[in-house]
Amino acid sequence: MTHILKKIDVNNFYKVFRRYKHHKEHWSVLKKKNKGKDKALKHFDDFYTSVYGTSSWERMREAMLKENNKHIAIVNNFSEHDAITEKLSLLGAMNLKSLYEIHKKNYDERAKFRASKTTSDKIYKINQPVEMILQNQRQSEVQSIFPESYQVPNELLAQKEVRKNSNDDNDDDELLKSKNIMDPVQLRSIEENVKVHQDENRIIKSSVGLTSSCLYEYVPTTKLKGLDDYVLESDHYNHYAQGADFSVKVEKEAILNIPEHLKIYTFESGNDSRFPSPRRAHCNVYDYYLMDGCSILPVLALDLQMGDTVLDMCAAPGGKSLAMLQTLMTYVLVANDSSHSRLNHMNNIFQDYLGDFDVWKDKLFLTNHDAREIEDKHIYNKILVDVPCTTDRHNLHNDENNIFSPTRVKERLRLPELQTEILLQALKIVAPGGTVVYSTCSLSPIQNDGVVQMALKKCSEEIESVMIVKNLDEALAPLRFIYKFATNCGLKYGHVAIPTKNNNWGPMYFCKIVKLP
């Protein structure tokens, strides 16, 4: 062995190049990694730009990317509520109910003024000279005979006026005085009259059927996508298109009822002040509950009345259920969630704000069921369906358990189907005359109006009850001083409160559905 080692020339060295790699937790590696929140932002940029428009989405995007969103404070009525309201008022916060009533009064007065102005305009039109009214009537009579594009010669109108108003025998003389009455009519080619040439080959006839292949047959290719994204979009849009041929009655509702004992405090528009963290009062319960400013809207849309039996199908983390309890109107409230851990967290929330649970043993129940399997028919007259969704704001800021992560692709694909099944079950079990409010914290029209449309269609096929969707545009109008609701985005049933620079809360979609008795 020694003999062999002596023959080795140790003076010659050979360099071997090896690429140095950072540890997987190094900042440069993490920066290059495509995280769940990055995928979420890319998906939203691609999808929501086409739904809401570039400028509108950019403003919402800017607000949603801010770390801190705006909150409201709900006073705990089971604590020293008078002292708490005084404390919040000293901070500069305002009572939402008082502001709503003031703006509602101003809104009604403006509506009356516009109505009176419209009436006065009609009276002015009636008082126009009789000659002008007769001339307009004659023109409309002549125009009704000819095509819309035909211009009525003034000479013909003059002829008709002479025939109606002249009692002499010299009518023929008057007619001969008019110029060029007998001139030949100038003919125009058919091509000149046709304004739009429609390509009938692209029209999908009703006899063909609204199949997915038919709907997408003439869509031009604009980009190539990976398999995951392609499946995602096709699944979403196919689910949305299944109920496209279904229609439901929509009725207007003029008033948004804010219960007297539900004390909601918020800062004015443009004020980004933060509420101090809640503290325990002398009763050993917290003084107020902080939640996103838009999260209270589905609770208000539910229109709680004294003695209501309420079911919150997907109650965790419990903020909306707690807000409903603060109205002091519920006879029984059942807060359900399919996750045992989330249910335990919600139980802790209730203990922190309600105190002794023995007092609530016959009025508050926490259940752990799959919302699709709840079979308590005709017991609840108010049901809140705040379904699992893409939670747009949350997934733009958190990578942990992000629904856009690769491990949760299948779960994300099934969201519209899951949401439809939960809402459908709520529509089946709600008591006749009862109300169901469906809500998400997503801007996606597929998870919003698309799910509502599909659930209503399936409901009409499976049960005989008639459902009516409530249009809350007029009821929500007084809240526009602090909330912004999306418009011109194709909404048919619900409403979307969107985040803005001055009021950075939301998004929140909600739709009110009533089952007729």
Q: In the prediction, which pLDDT does 295 show?
A: 98
Q: In the prediction, which pLDDT does 401 show?
A: 87
Residues in the chain predicted with pLDDT less than 70, given as ranges, are 1-20, 22, 24, 27-33, 118-135, 137-245
For the record, the structure tokens of 484 come out as: 């912004």
With H, G, I as helix, E, B as strand and everything else as coil, classify residue 366.
strand
Q: In the prediction, which pLDDT does 17 show?
A: 66
CATH label, 56-114+240-515, candidates 3.40.50.1820, 3.40.50.150, 3.40.50.1100, 3.90.105.10: 3.40.50.150
- Per the annotation, the verdict on 441 as an active-site residue is yes
Do 289 and 295 meet the contact criterion of CB atoms below 8 Å apart?
A: no
Q: What's the rounded Cα separation, in Å, for the pair 215 and 88?
A: 55
- Model confidence, pTM: 0.74
Q: In the prediction, which pLDDT does 228 show?
A: 44
Q: In the prediction, which pLDDT does 16 show?
A: 65
Beta strands in 376-484 (DSSP E): 382-386, 435-440, 467-471
Q: In the prediction, which pLDDT does 197 show?
A: 46
Sign of CA pseudo-dihedral 372, 387, 396, 413: positive
Q: Which residues, including other chains, have CB under 8 Å from residue 256's CB and lie 6 or more apart?
A: 100, 300, 301, 472, 475, 476, 478, 479
Q: What's the rounded Cα separation, in Å, for the pair 226 and 48?
A: 19
Q: What's the rounded Cα separation, in Å, for the pair 511 and 110?
A: 27
Sequence ranges of the domains in the chain: 56-114+240-515, 128-185
Closest CA relative to residue 455, chosen from 467, 444, 443, 440? 467
Task: List, as own/partner pairs, every contact residues 345-351 make where C-beta atoms lie below 8 angstroms and the sequence separation is at least 24, other chains included.
Answer: 345/316, 345/317, 345/318, 346/315, 346/316, 346/317, 346/318, 346/321, 349/317, 349/318, 349/319, 349/322, 350/318, 350/321, 350/322
Q: In the prediction, which pLDDT does 358 show?
A: 79
For the record, the structure tokens of 144 come out as: 């009704």
Catalytic residue among 294, 389, 441, 511: 441
Closest CA relative to residue 240, chosen from 516, 493, 506? 493
Task: Tell me the binding residues for S-adenosyl-L-methionine.
Answer: 314-320, 337, 370, 386
Q: In the prediction, which pLDDT does 231 show?
A: 44
